[in-house]
Chain A
Amino acid sequence: MTETTLDIQKIRKDFPILNREVNGRPLVYFDNAATSQTPQQVIDVIVHYYQNYNANIHRGVHFLSQEATDAYEQARIKIQKHFNIGKSHEVIFTSGTTHAINLVANGFSGFLKSGDEILVSAMEHHSNIVPWQMLCERTGAQLKVIPMNQDGELVMDSYHNLLSNRTKLVFCNHVSNALGTINPIKKIIDAAHAVGAAVLVDGAQAAPHIKADVRALDVDFYTVSAHKVCGPTGVGVLYGKEEWLNKLPPYQGGGEMIAEVTFEKTTYADLPHKFEAGTPNIAGGIAFGAALDYMNSIGFEAIAAYEEELLHYATSELKKIEGLKIYGEASQKAAVVSFNIKGIHPYDIGTILDKLGIAVRTGHHCAQPIMDFYQIPGTVRASFSFYNTKAEIDALVAGVQKARNMLI
């Protein structure tokens, strides 16, 4: 494997938080799958917004409102270009992936009836399961699960067997947050389309590693959260094909989403505003655009190659620890390592690591069905980003070793 061409030490200087000490030790941040850190370039955009042109958008006649509107709409176009989306009004700003999924699930209420089926993968985040269960309760449709194997890969034969003309919707994450598996979404989408089903792909975990081309994928809906791609929390995007977005009813009523209102009848605004009721997270949207600019300036190919290097290094070093088992060994994997040590609760390991200044996640990672599948209470999950280093992985491995010695 070739060494990265990225200047990691220079990149790290962009992230002020990486200078922090935790429990008297330099912070090692390996909880990137939960939320990524924010570079100064993005922080500056947020500060600049509040210092210079904070105003409500789309509704003021005044200068600042226009400036804010322009910046917000420019961010929409940046997001459009990044994901190769056909039209800018196919980009719907949301508060994040959870909101985006609920918007679609709610919209499908009118399209489903008893006897229809929704397929979801066995490795979904809770935010991707509950809205569909609620949708099924409302409509009488049935939820079916695409199973996975021990390596944490979807069983594609079973998927093909589950598909039928009863299937109306298929939901799958692009990358699993708990295991790191990169799912074969192009194959999933094509097979679903062959039976006339729509597909929503949750791109929350994929976006930091993979630049998805939604038109090449031909996906019907794709969701992203800004806070996983070096942007701020509380903002995200739903991509939907125009014909779908026109068909779906609005999700929330409020300002911004209407064309005309009388007490008898309201006509809805055109896309994207039909789905953007109320004052949005303006600074957040603008900063989301800046975050994608930042990541593109580093380059997604270089990021993916370097993260793979980190993943391989971490995997082989961790495996040297006696009794350590890695969950999720898919051949296609993002930079996430979920593991346990025989006889030790993941929470105990996480507690000791925290004392050493190492931030990991422990527990079920909002994916309890996966933990049930492996019959474990949870895992320790270390997730890497392009600003992490091999020296930090060495600290993790030493920390896990130390925890093991203390706890066994």
Chain B
Amino acid sequence: MGIQEIQEGIVDEFSLFEDWMEKYEYMIGLGKSLPLIKEEYKTDDNIIKGCQSKVWVHAELNDDRLVFTADSDAIITKGIIAILIRAFSNQKPQDIIDADTAFIDEIGLKEHLSPTRANGLVSMIKQLKLYAIAYQTQLN
């Protein structure tokens, strides 16, 4: 599936929820199923700055596709990363670079997050795109 399709799927899922409680419960569930980063990659270099909780992300090329793994010490944060990883992982770097991120606003994630977490979300997206740029340069 392409990024666009996956994002539409996420938006559809979130439209089913009646209130914030259900959204959070869903995100917490997603957090528990996050594809975890290997312990050896949990280094300071892989920490994303701008989050009150710690977030580590690792990227690896599998053929021509970029695969992300991650972890966080906070479960809601893990849920947020899980959504992002679902949207961006296992895609071609150039597609990740080009991807639109409007779905974040459509699922009402930002308005439901505290300001520091919303900032963290922006940092996370930026970091995923930076990885994509780095690997795209490698592929070129």
Q: Do A and B bind each other?
A: yes
Q: Mark B33-63, 1 if CB is under 8 A from A, else 0.
A: 0000000000000000000111000000000
Query: Nearest A residue to B74 by beta-carbon distance?
Result: A345
Q: Is A280 an interface residue (CB 8 A)?
A: no
Among residues 369 to 396 in chain A, which have CB atoms less than 8 Å away from a CB atom of chain B?
377-378
Q: Knowing A355-B24, A406-B25 touch, does A377 contact B77 (C-beta < 8 A)?
A: no
What is the bound-complex CA distance between A336 and B24, given in angstroms?
28
The answer on a CB contact under 8 Å between A352 and B75 is no
- CB contacts (< 8 Å) of B54 on chain A: these are 377
What is the bound-complex CA distance between A273 and B114, given in angstroms?
42
Q: Which of A351, A377, A378 contacts B76 (CB 8 A)?
A: A351
- CB contacts (< 8 Å) of B24 on chain A: these are 351-352, 355, 406
The answer on a CB contact under 8 Å between B76 and A348 is yes
The answer on a CB contact under 8 Å between A347 and B28 is no
The answer on a CB contact under 8 Å between A345 and B114 is no
Among residues 331 to 371 in chain A, which have CB atoms less than 8 Å away from a CB atom of chain B?
344-345, 347-348, 350-352, 354-355, 362-363
- CB contacts (< 8 Å) of A352 on chain B: these are 24
The answer on a CB contact under 8 Å between B74 and A348 is yes
Q: Is A407 an interface residue (CB 8 A)?
A: yes
Q: Chain B's nearest CB lies how many Å from the CB of A191?
A: 38
Chain B interface mostly: helix
The answer on a CB contact under 8 Å between A347 and B74 is yes
The answer on a CB contact under 8 Å between A345 and B53 is yes
What is the bound-complex CA distance between A352 and B20, given in angstroms?
10
What is the bound-complex CA distance between A407 and B25, given in angstroms?
8
Q: Mark A134-145, 1 if CB is under 8 A from B, else 0.
A: 000000000000
Query: Nearest A residue to B51 by beta-carbon distance?
Result: A347
What is the bound-complex CA distance between A377 and B20, given in angstroms?
26
Q: Chain A's nearest CB lies how many Å from the CB of B70?
A: 15
Q: Chain B's nearest CB lies how many Å from the CB of A75?
A: 34
Q: Chain A's nearest CB lies how many Å from the CB of B135?
A: 30
Max chain B Cβ within 10 angstroms of own Cβ: one of A347, A354, A363: A347
Q: Knowing A355-B24, A377-B54, A406-B24 touch, does A348 contact B75 (C-beta < 8 A)?
A: yes
The answer on a CB contact under 8 Å between B75 and A350 is no
Report the contact-size class of chain B (Cβ under 8 Å from the partner): 10 to 19
Q: Knowing A352-B24, A406-B24 touch, does A344 contact B53 (C-beta < 8 A)?
A: no
Q: Chain B's nearest CB lies how many Å from the CB of A359?
A: 11
Q: Chain A's nearest CB lies how many Å from the CB of B66?
A: 28
What is the bound-complex CA distance between A406 and B53, given in angstroms?
18
What is the bound-complex CA distance between A351 and B121, given in angstroms?
14
The answer on a CB contact under 8 Å between A377 and B73 is yes
What is the bound-complex CA distance between A255 and B76, given in angstroms?
51
Max chain B Cβ within 10 angstroms of own Cβ: one of A344, A350, A351, A354: A351
The answer on a CB contact under 8 Å between A377 and B53 is yes
- CB contacts (< 8 Å) of A363 on chain B: these are 52
The answer on a CB contact under 8 Å between B28 and A407 is yes
Q: Is B117 an interface residue (CB 8 A)?
A: yes
Q: Chain A's nearest CB lies how many Å from the CB of B120?
A: 10
The answer on a CB contact under 8 Å between A351 and B28 is no
- CB contacts (< 8 Å) of B113 on chain A: these are 351
The answer on a CB contact under 8 Å between A351 and B25 is no
Q: Chain A's nearest CB lies how many Å from the CB of B81?
A: 14
Q: Mark B66-91, 1 if CB is under 8 A from A, else 0.
A: 00000001111100000000000000
Among residues 81 to 137 in chain B, which have CB atoms less than 8 Å away from a CB atom of chain A?
112-114, 117
Q: Chain A's nearest CB lies how many Å from the CB of B53?
A: 5
What is the bound-complex CA distance between A378 and B51, given in angstroms?
13
What is the bound-complex CA distance between A150 and B117, given in angstroms?
31
Among residues 1 to 32 in chain B, which have CB atoms less than 8 Å away from a CB atom of chain A?
20-21, 24-25, 28
Q: Knowing A406-B25, A406-B28, A407-B75 touch, does A347 contact B20 (C-beta < 8 A)?
A: no
The answer on a CB contact under 8 Å between B25 and A347 is no
Query: Nearest A residue to B79 by beta-carbon distance?
Result: A348
- CB contacts (< 8 Å) of B21 on chain A: these are 355, 406
Max chain A Cβ within 10 angstroms of own Cβ: one of B28, B74, B77, B117: B74
Max chain B Cβ within 10 angstroms of own Cβ: one of A344, A354, A407: A407
- CB contacts (< 8 Å) of B76 on chain A: these are 347-348, 351, 407
Q: Chain A's nearest CB lies how many Å from the CB of B115?
A: 10
Q: Knowing A347-B52, A406-B28, A407-B28 touch, does A354 contact B75 (C-beta < 8 A)?
A: no
Pairs of residues from A and B, 10 with the lowest C-beta to C-beta distance, nearest first: A345-B74, A347-B74, A347-B53, A348-B76, A348-B74, A347-B52, A345-B73, A348-B75, A355-B20, A351-B76
Sampled A-B contacts (29; CB under 8 Å): A345-B53, A345-B73, A345-B75, A345-B77, A347-B52, A347-B53, A347-B74, A347-B76, A347-B117, A348-B53, A348-B76, A348-B77, A350-B114, A351-B113, A351-B114, A351-B117, A352-B24, A355-B20, A355-B24, A355-B112, A363-B52, A377-B53, A377-B54, A406-B21, A406-B24, A406-B25, A406-B28, A407-B28, A407-B75
Given A345-B74, A377-B53, 5 other A-B residues pairs in contact with their CB atoms under 8 A: A23-B20, A347-B52, A354-B114, A355-B21, A378-B52
Q: Which A residues fall within an 8 A CB radius of B?
A: 23, 344-345, 347-348, 350-352, 354-355, 362-363, 377-378, 406-407
